Amino acid sequence: MSTASTGHPSPAATSGSPLPRTRSGPSASAGRRVRFGVVGAGFIATWFARAVAAEPAAEIVAVASARPERAAAFAAEHGVPHAHPTLEAMLAEHGPDRAAPIDVIYIGSPNSLHAAQAIAALEAGYGVLVEKPFTLTPAQARAMAATAERTGGFLMEAWQTAFEPGVAAIRAALPRLGEPRRATFVREQFSSRMSAYRAGDLPPAFDPALGGGSLMDLGIYPVSLAIHLFGPPDRVTATAQLLDSGVDSHGTVTLSYDTGERVGLEVACLHSKTSANALGSQISGESSAILLDHCQWPEHISLITAPGSPEESREDLSVTRSGEVMGPLLAEVCRLVSAGARGSELHPVSASVAAIEVLSEARAQIGVHFPDDDADA
């Protein structure tokens, strides 16, 4: 597999030219809050609502959930004035000419719904912020990107890591490594749903019909970080252990860079919903390395020169995280939408598409099949 030929730029190599401005649909004018509609009422939507409550530039106008009682409870808990049983109802009620308009639809629904809901919202003239993973298949990801391009709508994946202060510190330190030769990015966390699965239930986290599995839930973090820092790879090699449900419990994806400015680089992306990680992650050059404690929310970061030698030295690049988990992401989305941008230069749609291409190739190699794959065949 070669994704490098698609020409997606690494954020470190972007020119800094402004993104095209929104051509149509609602956009937030300077000086007023960005108005969000939330799809889903689970824990990730709660994280988003808490970030909105702490962000003066944002407000939630409406929530939609397939379980109306959950939408009503979410609305009551977070002071949201409107609750709807479907996305369609929300789109119909909150256009720019209605009493309570919405600028951006935040999609926090199961993975298998991302593409259809994002495209529906874009077609209706709304901007879209969609949770990771962007979607399940490359065809769906490209369709989302094409719809945003055609409609002129704002589209962005809610991959929080790109906007973390720790990742900014890593981006700044990366040139000091010289040529990166190897990186190991680890995202492991024992799933709170594993006990239910072992008891005979099928939680969404392990349901192939909903796009579950470790690769899609956790593997996306190291894969996306690699693409964010180094660009798309030329080759993908994947191994994994599968559950009886048909999705993976843990595995490894190796990204190989055979051409271009990163030639010779290999990135090992380790992911697991059945183990813990106490070692962190690492980016290695020929005579120095960057250590980070977490590849999703890096905070403790060190630049080590001449490791293992008498001349070894360590520079602390650590940052302090504060506020709500989704705070930095939300602040950037509000800034972009208020400026009339159609997406993010730091985490462009092209990077989200490239990550889905990598994950799809990895799934094909380990034998994880989703129903949505058949529609793309």
Q: Which H/E stretch holds residue 254?
A: strand 248-256
Token pair in block for residue 43? 């824990």
- Give CA–CA dist 158/361, Å, rounded: 22
| Interhelix angle 114-123/138-151, nearest 10 degrees | 10
Q: CB count, 10 Å around CB of 68?
A: 14
Closest by CA position to 113, among listed 124, 125, 128: 128
- Give CA–CA dist 287/284, Å, rounded: 8
Closest by CA position to 11, among listed 191, 190, 228: 228
Catalytic residue among 132, 250, 273, 294: 132
Residue type, 100: A
What DSSP assignment string belongs to 53-75?
HT-TTEEEEEEE-SSHHHHHHHH
| 273 has catalytic annotation | no
Q: What DSSP state is assigned to residue 341?
A: B
Residue-wise burial string across 204-226, b where 16 or more C-beta atoms lie within 10 A, e elsewhere: ebbbbebbbbbbbbbbbbbbbbb
Which residues are catalytic, by number?
A: 132
